[in-house]
Amino acid sequence: MGNRTAEDTVLMKRVARGEKDALGEMYDLYGRLVYSVALHFVHDTSVAEEITQDVFVTIWTKARDYNPEKAGVSTWMLRITRNKSIDELRRHKSRRDIPVGSIVEVVQNTNDSTAEDNDPERLAVREWDRLRIVEAVESLPEQQRQALRLAYFHDLTHREIAEELNEPLGTVKSRIRMGLQKLRKMLETGEVTE
Amino acid sequence: MSIDGQEHEKMSHLLPSFVTGGLDPKEGAAVRRHLRRCSRCRKLIAEYRTAFDAIGHSVPLMEPPPSLRTRIIEELPAQPPLRLPAAVRFILDHPRAVIAASLAVLFLFAGSLWLNVSGISGAGTQVSGEARAAEDILAVMSGTEVAPKARAIIATGADQTSGVLYAFGLPVPPEGYAYQLWFTKDGIRRSGGVFRVTPEGHAVHHIRLAVPLSDFPTFGITVEPETGSDDPTGSKILENDDSRSPGTDGGQKTSGFRTNL
């Protein structure tokens, strides 16, 4: 993970110096992730494309403000993506009302290689990191995962989640707290617990 | 101010809800106040944020259309110009006045440096202080195209392994970044340490190496993470005006210094 962080920081510095090639490399590494997260929010491919473009333009213009001590590059990028996606949802409230059940039913593309990045070792390390995160999230009890996903992808308050799921507010709060505590521990220790 | 154990317990319990936007405004304000005082909770909240971000990282990956990459790169706007503080803009707008003032400061500074480092005081040495100081200027550095009007000098102490860098006209680097001085000889680089600048773009940085500074013919300053780098990774901001052969030009150092300023 350390090498990846260092590589990303160097790449970000090149972006900050105005190297378009570096932004292209950044896109090759994270374009799919940004697009996929945006699509998960808005459920519309053309809007997800617009958000992805907007995210990379923001990275291009704000690269000098990036502080590696505050967040890794991918985390920073995902936070920008989430904020822009939530803004989009707020602008078009109807998108926010997409039924809860559909939020995880996005078809997975089986082509996991990045066409523009041909360094297999680098790709493997990044894919390993990503799969570790996926595994940790998937290992959470369904109800905790569902509550966290509603908070993340629908930007719902705990009260709104409780109404959506028809559950008591205290139950929802407890699921979110326990889910996040478990996830934090798993990511910290690298050990997935059932 | 010490943090009450009960308060810490209560607030740390609220952190997951804080991160996921589940607190009412009053609770949120209380957590923010606590975070300002509690480093344990600041560390904890960063971990909770990372855990919440993992929800985003865990989405199944979808392939965007190949044309998107091209569109993004082709339609990139110009990057905003580097924001320079007012003092640096003044330096860039009035280079002659600044150079003259800096020259005066330089002689005073270098004179006191030599006297301090040599540890000798007394009328005899004071007489030769200024002249000797000028001979101890090891390098004059000029800004690269990134900061064309930045200037710096490196003055050495009597033992030659210590010295001081005095720089002005440096842009303030982004948060989390600082300047790092490099000494190079035969392709091998050695760090001369990391330093920050004042909001006005000035810096005084003390240097100490295991070998004489004059062994190195080339000096450079780059922007690096504030924790320092093993090798230069950022833009070169300053470089020495002449790449001289070490130990062959004693008197030339002074003339180079005078010529360049």
- Please answer yes or no on whether A111 and B73 come within 8 Å at the CB atom: no
- Residues 81..140 of B with a Cβ closer than 8 Å to A: which? 82
Q: What count of other Cβ atoms lies within 10 Å of the Cβ of residue A53?
A: 20
Residues B222 and B90: their CA atoms lie apart, in Å, by: 22
Chain A CB contacts of B223 under 8 Å are 13
- Please answer yes or no on whether B21 and A32 come within 8 Å at the CB atom: no
Q: What does the DSSP 8-state code read for residue B20?
A: T
Position B104 scores a pLDDT of: 62
Which whole number is the average pLDDT over A72-77? Answer: 89
Q: In chain A, whose CA is at the least distance from the CA of B58? A: A134
Tokens of B24: 């009412």
Half-sphere exposure of B68 (CA within 13 A, CB side): 25
A2-16: per-residue pLDDT in tens?
A: 566 778 888 998 998
* Residue B135 to chain A, least CA–CA distance (Å): 37
pLDDT exceeds 60 at position A65: yes
Q: Which residues, including other chains, have CB under 8 Å from residue A23's CB and lie 6 or more apart?
A: A15, A56, A59, A60, B72, B73, B76
B52/A contact by beta carbon, under 8 A: yes
- Please answer yes or no on whether B58 and A13 come within 8 Å at the CB atom: no
pLDDT exceeds 90 at position A167: yes
B58/A contact by beta carbon, under 8 A: yes
* Residue A147 to chain B, least CA–CA distance (Å): 10
A144/B contact by beta carbon, under 8 A: no
- Split at pLDDT 50, 70, 90, the class of B199 is confident
Which whole number is the average pLDDT over B45-74? Answer: 92
B62/A contact by beta carbon, under 8 A: yes
Minimum-distance CB partner of B53 among A56, A75, A173: A75
* Residue B61 to chain A, least CA–CA distance (Å): 6
Find the Cα–Cα–Cα–Cα dihedral B210, B213, B215, B218, rounded to 10°: 130
* Residue B43 to chain A, least CA–CA distance (Å): 11
For B62, phi then psi, to 5°, come to -115, 150
Q: What does the DSSP 8-state code read for residue B27?
A: H
Position B161 scores a pLDDT of: 81
A106/B contact by beta carbon, under 8 A: yes
B67-90: per-residue pLDDT in tens?
A: 999 999 999 998 776 655 555 555
pLDDT exceeds 80 at position A22: yes
- What 3-state DSSP class applies to A109? coil
Q: Which residues pair with B208 in a beta bridge?
A: B162
* Residue B33 to chain A, least CA–CA distance (Å): 20
Find the Cα–Cα–Cα–Cα dihedral A145, A150, A152, A156, rounded to 10°: -140
- Please answer yes or no on whether A36 and B225 come within 8 Å at the CB atom: no
Residues B57 and A101: their CA atoms lie apart, in Å, by: 19
Position B51 scores a pLDDT of: 92
Q: Which of B58-67, B85-94, B248-257 has the highest mean pLDDT?
A: B58-67
Instruction: Outline where chain B has alpha helix (H).
Output: 5-19, 25-37, 39-57, 67-74, 86-93, 95-118, 123-135, 250-260
Which whole number is the average pLDDT over A19-43? Answer: 93
0.90 cut: is pTM over it? no
Q: Is the dihedral of CA A183, A186, A189, A194 positive or negative?
A: positive
- Split at pLDDT 50, 70, 90, the class of B128 is very low
Poorest-pLDDT segment among A35-44, A173-182, B46-55, B203-212: B203-212
Q: Which of B59, B71, B177, B229 to mutate to test the interface with A (most CBs of A within 10 A)?
A: B59
Residues B195 and B205: their CA atoms lie apart, in Å, by: 6
Report DSSP letters for A84-106, one per residue.
Answer: HHHHHHHHTHHHHTS-GGGGG-P
pLDDT exceeds 90 at position A37: yes
Residues B76 and A62: their CA atoms lie apart, in Å, by: 13
pLDDT exceeds 50 at position B152: yes
Q: Which of A64, A114, A180, A192 to mutate to test the interface with B (most CBs of B within 10 A)?
A: A180
Tokens of A114: 């990045």
